[in-house]
A and B are shown apart, each in its own frame.
Chain A
Amino acid sequence: MPIESQERDDVLLKRSAKGDEEAFTLLYRRHQAQIYRFALRMTGHAWAAEEIVQDVFMTLVREPRKFDPERGQLGAFLYGIARNRLMKHLERQPREFRLEVRNGEGEPKEFEIADERTPAHWAELRERRDRVRSAVLSLPPEFRETVVLCELEELSYEETARILECPVGTVRSRLHRGRALLLAKLEMLRESPKRANAAL
């Protein structure tokens, strides 16, 4: 039976659990990008994001019955798995990300911005973006995920609260605190980037 592209996630997942590869592929294509972006923004590494996406969907292949549609959306469920994997990844490599300003060599392609502005302006923009990214990556995980979801993914407080399984008030306070930490780190980076690198 052909699958409608608007078919609900739980229906697709049931079909996938019965061995329908098309249903699984549709589910994957529907959700992989947001999980990949979340993982990429949380880890700063394309390879780590790739690994996490693979782990998340592998869980869906192996244990599709773990998802209970009555408890929430599949997207939130996948975010939950991704968060668990991310925490394990961050525990394994707590100091893997560095705060040096990257010059773009060896950077993943996804970080490039197609820009028509002058090279000097582009370089400045890139440098600022790298500083912000480094500052985000240096945040403690609970603040980082809140900043990533609210500021980078531009999810609402309610959506973020569902994904993080915490009250909206907690999201607000973490975001507030995260911004304050980012400001402090960016100020520190602007004043003395080399010393900041050494500190981390």
Chain B
Amino acid sequence: MNCEEFANRGMELDSAAREHMRTCAACAALYESTERLREGLRELGMATVDATAPSRVEMRLRQEFRTRHTTVKTRGRVVVASWLLAAATIVLVAGSLFFWQQKRGANLAQVQPTAKRAVVQTAAAGPELGGTLIAENDGDEFALIPGAFPGLQDDTTVVRVQMQRGSLSALGLTVNEEQANDLVQVDLLLGADGQPQAYRLPQSNN
């Protein structure tokens, strides 16, 4: 072993290294110095082997940990609350829109002419008129009663009454005298004031 090999051998001291040390004073001195250094380093290591961070570091870190996670939780709650609020707003708006549309539909249906619907009506059209009847009408076959003023169709009602044919003359219609006592069914279109505005003779009378 030469001096270079001795220097590069690491800390192991095998027989060849021992032999070299016996013949080379410089390498022996280097070895002694290195051993003293290692001893000094060990002592230095021992001096700080029990060193730990002061407890205030742990306290600060735990405080920071708590603050941070409390903030994160609070932020999370705020985010969740915001989403819930947004969802509630959407539901509210959608619900309002739905009900508004339903109400609008109902209003539209209400403004349709009453004559388009089947109406059950108890007729009380005077002594010459009969009992309760059902009238169905498409609104096209009615004839205006002479002298009647046709009002808005919104407030009209159709009633079917049974009356003597002669009573039709009271509505200003021409009646065959020979059949004046026959009972006939008549659909009357009543205005909002209850006065007949138009009439229709169903096919069964003809």
How many Å from the CB of A113 to the closest CB on chain B?
A: 5
What B residues does A54 contact at CB under 8 A? 53, 57, 60-61
- Our pick among B10, B37, B47, B62 for the contact of A129 (Cβ within 8 Å) is B47
What B residues does A143 contact at CB under 8 A? none
A147 contacts chain B at the CB level, 8 A cutoff: yes
CA distance A129 to B37 in the complex (A): 10
A101 contacts chain B at the CB level, 8 A cutoff: no
CA distance A182 to B41 in the complex (A): 10
Size bracket, chain B contacts: 20 to 34
Interface flags, B28-51, vs A, CB<8A=1, else 0: 001001100110111111111111
Check if A32 sits within 8 Å of B45, measured CB to CB. no
Check if A129 sits within 8 Å of B51, measured CB to CB. no
Contact A28:B40 (CB < 8 A) given known A19-B73, A111-B47, A113-B46:
no
CA distance A151 to B46 in the complex (A): 11
What B residues does A19 contact at CB under 8 A? 69, 72-73
Check if A40 sits within 8 Å of B48, measured CB to CB. yes
How many Å from the CB of B13 to the closest CB on chain A?
A: 15
CA distance A80 to B73 in the complex (A): 30
A191 contacts chain B at the CB level, 8 A cutoff: no
- Our pick among A21, A53, A132 for the contact of B41 (Cβ within 8 Å) is A132
A183 contacts chain B at the CB level, 8 A cutoff: yes
What B residues does A25 contact at CB under 8 A? 58, 62
B68 contacts chain A at the CB level, 8 A cutoff: yes
Contact A110:B50 (CB < 8 A) given known A25-B58, A32-B57, A151-B45:
yes
Contact A36:B47 (CB < 8 A) given known A28-B58, A183-B33:
no
Check if A40 sits within 8 Å of B51, measured CB to CB. yes
A49 contacts chain B at the CB level, 8 A cutoff: yes
* Interface segment out of the listed A5-13, A57-65, A68-76, A87-95: A57-65
Judged by DSSP, the binding face of B is helix
B54 contacts chain A at the CB level, 8 A cutoff: yes
Judged by DSSP, the binding face of A is helix
A125 contacts chain B at the CB level, 8 A cutoff: yes
B66 contacts chain A at the CB level, 8 A cutoff: yes
Check if B48 sits within 8 Å of A41, measured CB to CB. yes
CA distance A128 to B8 in the complex (A): 27
What B residues does A40 contact at CB under 8 A? 48, 51
- Most chain-B CB neighbours within 10 Å: which of A21, A129, A131? A129
CA distance A19 to B10 in the complex (A): 48
Contact A58:B64 (CB < 8 A) given known A25-B58, A110-B51:
yes
Check if B47 sits within 8 Å of A112, measured CB to CB. yes
What A residues does B51 contact at CB under 8 A? 33, 36-37, 40, 49, 110
B179 contacts chain A at the CB level, 8 A cutoff: no
Contact A136:B61 (CB < 8 A) given known A19-B72, A36-B51, A110-B51:
no
26 CB contacts below 8 A, A to B, read A19-B73, A21-B66, A24-B61, A25-B62, A29-B58, A35-B53, A36-B53, A37-B51, A41-B45, A49-B53, A50-B57, A61-B65, A61-B68, A110-B50, A110-B51, A111-B48, A112-B47, A113-B43, A128-B43, A129-B44, A132-B40, A132-B43, A133-B44, A152-B44, A172-B10, A176-B10
Seen from chain B, the residues whose Cβ lies within 8 Å of a Cβ on chain A are 8, 10, 30, 33-34, 37-38, 40-54, 57-58, 60-62, 64-66, 68-69, 72-73
Given contacts A21-B65, A50-B53, A110-B50, 6 further A-B contacts (CB under 8 A): A24-B62, A36-B51, A41-B44, A110-B48, A132-B44, A186-B37
For the complex of A and B, 3 pairs with smallest distance between CB atoms: A110-B51, A132-B40, A19-B69
